[in-house]
Amino acid sequence: MYAPDHLRRKEVRDVMYRSNSSLDLIYTEHPSGNGLRREYGSHGSIDVIGGTSDRLPAMVHNYSSVSTPDKQPGLGRADRLAEVLASDHADGPPPRSSVSPKPRLKLNKLWGGAAPVLSRQPLDDGALPSTVPEEVKRKQFAHYDCQSLMANLSYAAEIRGALLSRRRNTTTGASAASLLATRGLPPGEDAVPDTGDGRSNELLESCPFFRNELGGEEERCISLCSRTARGAIPGQYGGWHRPRAAYGFSVLEFPPGHTHWRQGCPFARSLAPLPVESQDLGALYYRNYFYTQPHQNWFGMEENLGPVAISIKKERVELRRGGGDALAPASQLAWHYRVIVRTAELLTIRGSVLEDALPIVKPSNNSATYNTKDVLEYIAPEIQLSCLRLGITNSGAEEQLLRLDEQCVTRHYKVGVMYCKSGQSTEEEMYNNQEAGPAFVEFLQMLGQTVRLKDFDKYKAGLDNRTDSTGLYSVYTTYQGCEIMFHVSTMLPYTPNNRQQLLRKRHIGNDIVTIVFQEPGAAPFTPRNIRSQFQHVFVVVRVIDPCTENTHYSIAVSRAKEVPLFGPPIKDGAVYPKGDAFTELLLSKVINGENAAIQSPKFSTMATRTRQEYLKDLAKNYVTATTVETGQKFSIFSSLLMKSGNNSNSSTVIPRLDNCTNDVLVRGALCFHVQVQDEGAGGNLLDCIMGVSADSIVLIEDSSRQIVLVLPTNTLLGWVVSGGWSRVYYHRGESVRVRGAPEALLRRLASVAPPHAHNLHEITLERGQAAQLGFHVQPDGLVTAVEGGGCAARAGVRRGARLLEVCRAAVVALHHDQLVDLLKTSDPVTVTVTFASSARCGCEVGAEEWAAPGRADAQQQRARRHDRTDRHLPATL
């Protein structure tokens, strides 16, 4: 198995002490099956890990930062570039008065930010010139995952030169706070230092360069629903938690019969543990669809983007039509191309495009003839195709691409555990606790299994399983398919008369996430007492009534300010009883904490360096002399065709699609640039990327690169179009208001929506001489009965319909009393009704959660309040 010289694995004894902060790829066989893992140990500096070679530019990439919420949409390209080079917030939407006085370099918008992408329909200024009209370019490219939606090659190429000459200060994590306390500002910091967030409690003190999560932080909600009907949700300085439905969400395209939503309704308030928050499962795209299958790889050094690697595969697919067109065939065969475009940065374009969607391509009727030039010009016009050379066909290139794509995919986590006795607070005091007290032992037993290290054959996180040099025992556990090894301070070797306890700090000081266990009476923890450049997240746990039947724990989190807020959320003022529920919360918190931390500049810089070297190696050592111009239409090498074992596709003639922009249901996500009305922020406008696949709809905020809404397509109820805006209804009547690309977006929604979910119109119910409208309705708007001959029946309302709007007021934002009052007193009554599937699910909200009088598109009505016990009874109208 090939590896560049400077990346080749050293002896086992050397690799054992590699930091888990290092994302360098280690070449070794492993039971996980992919021969790739991150190794762990004791390197103490990013400069040691990354090397100082000029061939490794220190490019900082942070796609988790959040810009200020009052940024106006439609910034010019020059303004965006200036904002990229000056932005400084990564902790969520800050209050307007909290903008840093001297922002530092951060690459939070490297892959697009608010900049228009050539493939997408922008809301503001024009894009770069191209031979293909802007309104045609890339609109039919179906993205495989959320990361691909965020990739923007043109913007990355534009700012790459400015960023290559800048180097990020490497004093990060707890060392930044510690250095400020002892020596003043770290080298390269602003003249006005970060002072922390000012949030403290008995567990945590506010600390410079860190943000504290003390409990009660809100979940992001941009929809009009019972929660936002009262008005804007109070903002949090530390940011917003992602929506519950977004946990574990990454892939947008699934084969027929498969879905992301296997666990039922994603909006249910279930007691089941949430999935791991953010893992790039789209990185498995090459493994699942290209590896060992016939395809082409193209490598090169692009003038603006640096080293690039492109994989392309042609295959036949069956397209199923949506949109309710009875005259169109239910399905049709077509050719499409799967494509991966990789650059030195960490966002990769992955997806597919129909051959018939390419504007100038000539159709082909076999799987061996590739229109490579036309495909790449359509998907990646920013790349100069003359720099590309066809990759060699041996397995070495494929193995290299696997390692490259799955560089940041890990199921192994190592977590430090420090023991803080009553009255203690400093690092030295905690490291010098030689033995564990009863409360700490009880906590460790709840946390995982105590294992004997000698001959331990599972993930050992750099601990010695041969000679007991790192202690006799440790704590190990598994959670949601992840292996976690804890570096417990009292289980690591203790050195008498050594206050620093380097044998302990060598491991815990190089962990990204550290649990600090506090006995009752311990002083509040602060990261400024820790000296480590790798410890970025501290989860502080304090025991209450230890070693009793009433043992409880309180929890708080301190994270470096570059690390985005991560879940699961902590309840305000909550204490958790000892048991499985608290263990699951804690394990989720440490896994999500490391996943969030590796998005910060320090660790993404390290990953980017490694990625760039792999790409350079591919462009230098794995290419032939064939160029795109000479090799765009030729049969793939016979060895690849023989490997597939099936060459029958080449004789199958497939007719060209007459109009592939109409309602053809490609399974990946088509991308739209839209503006969204953020109901949780008082109606502010957000620039968002909207992806609509056959399985899911996702909205990603342009500035923060965070998911703000995700929903299954089978929960769509319909949409109402008015004045350039579209209000999309889903689930039980919740809605989101968007504008931008209206015709293409509505056509795509129609193709993926369930039966009877479509463009909706108002129905007028005329009372006439009758006092009743002639139907029964539940508080959530579900019609349970319709009287024959009544005005409702005459207007087309029937049992099982759902009222979405009444007199242009959203039903989901109304009390039951208000809904009944509107229906009984208004004349005429206008309603917007959907007949899409509206079966009740297990996420019905309790009576106490129904909103106060809410906003509506046109009017609001204030009704008298009745006893709450009547709210769930159907009203006869």
* Within a domain: 867: yes
* Within a domain: 157: no
| Omega prior to 256 cis, within 30 of 0 | no
Higher pLDDT, residue 726 or 333: 726
According to the model, what pLDDT value does residue 370 have? 84
Res. 792 pLDDT band, cuts 50 70 90: confident
Q: What is the 3-state secondary structure (H, E, C) of 20-53?
A: CCCCCCCCCCCCCCCCCCCCCECCCCHHHHHCCC
Digit-coded pLDDT (tens) for 744-767: 899 999 999 998 899 999 999 887
* Within a domain: 828: yes
| Alpha-carbon span 756 to 744, nearest angstrom | 19
Segment 570-574 mean pLDDT: 88
Segment 392-412 mean pLDDT: 90
Q: What is the CATH number of the domain that holds 498?
A: 3.40.50.11210
Domain count for the chain = 2
Res. 869 pLDDT band, cuts 50 70 90: very low
The one-letter code for the residue type at 619 is A
DSSP 273: P
Diameter of the chain measured on Cα atoms = 96
* Secondary structure (3-state) at 589: helix
According to the model, what pLDDT value does residue 160 have? 63
Average pLDDT for the chain = 76
Task: Point out which residues pair with 388 in neighbouring strands.
Answer: 300
According to the model, what pLDDT value does residue 572 have? 87
* Within a domain: 559: yes
Structure tokens at 330: 């239910």
Does residue 562 have a pLDDT over 70? yes
| Alpha-carbon span 678 to 223, nearest angstrom | 7
The whole-model pTM stands at: 0.79
Digit-coded pLDDT (tens) for 300-326: 999 889 999 999 999 988 887 655 454
According to the model, what pLDDT value does residue 62 have? 29
Higher pLDDT, residue 400 or 13: 400
Segment 240-246 mean pLDDT: 91
According to the model, what pLDDT value does residue 11 have? 37
* Within a domain: 271: no
| Alpha-carbon span 863 to 822, nearest angstrom | 8
Segment 104-125 mean pLDDT: 34
| Alpha-carbon span 676 to 738, nearest angstrom | 5
Task: Point out which residues pair with 627 in neighbouring strands.
Answer: 389
Res. 193 pLDDT band, cuts 50 70 90: confident
Digit-coded pLDDT (tens) for 334-361: 889 999 999 988 889 999 999 888 876 6
| Burial class of residue 421, CB neighbours in 10 A (0-12, 13-18, 19+) | middle
According to the model, what pLDDT value does residue 407 have? 86
Higher pLDDT, residue 17 or 691: 691
Pick from 171-185, 276-290, 299-313, 570-584: least confident: 171-185
Question: Distance between the two ends of the chain, CA-based, in angstroms?
Answer: 74
Domain end residue (candidates: 597, 622, 639): 597
What percentage of residues in the chain have a pLDDT greater than 70?
A: 69
Domain end residue (candidates: 575, 597, 619): 597
Res. 286 pLDDT band, cuts 50 70 90: very high
Res. 591 pLDDT band, cuts 50 70 90: very high
Res. 192 pLDDT band, cuts 50 70 90: low
What percentage of residues in the chain have a pLDDT greater than 90?
A: 44
Res. 873 pLDDT band, cuts 50 70 90: low
Res. 139 pLDDT band, cuts 50 70 90: confident
| Alpha-carbon span 809 to 807, nearest angstrom | 5
* Within a domain: 296: no
Domain end residue (candidates: 552, 571, 597): 597
Q: Judge whether 559 and 208 are in contact, CB under 8 Å.
A: no
Does residue 294 have a pLDDT over 60? yes
Q: What is the CATH number of the domain that holds 777?
A: 2.30.42.10
* Within a domain: 435: yes
| Alpha-carbon span 106 to 78, nearest angstrom | 16
* Within a domain: 829: yes
According to the model, what pLDDT value does residue 118 have? 31
**Please, how many CA atoms are within 13 Å of residue 537, restricted to the half-sphere of its CB?**
29
According to the model, what pLDDT value does residue 181 have? 54
Res. 299 pLDDT band, cuts 50 70 90: very high
Does residue 174 have a pLDDT over 80? no
Higher pLDDT, residue 741 or 550: 550
| Alpha-carbon span 819 to 659, nearest angstrom | 44
According to the model, what pLDDT value does residue 769 have? 72
Digit-coded pLDDT (tens) for 466-514: 999 999 999 999 999 999 999 999 999 999 988 889 999 999 999 999 9
Per the structure, the complete domain to which residue 484 belongs is given by: 412-597
Does residue 296 have a pLDDT over 80? yes
Digit-coded pLDDT (tens) for 679-705: 998 889 999 999 999 999 999 999 888
Does residue 121 have a pLDDT over 50? no
The one-letter code for the residue type at 22 is S
Does residue 157 have a pLDDT over 90? no
DSSP 810-865: EGGGS-HHHHHHHHHH-SSEEEEEE-S-----TTPPPGGGPPSS---SS-------
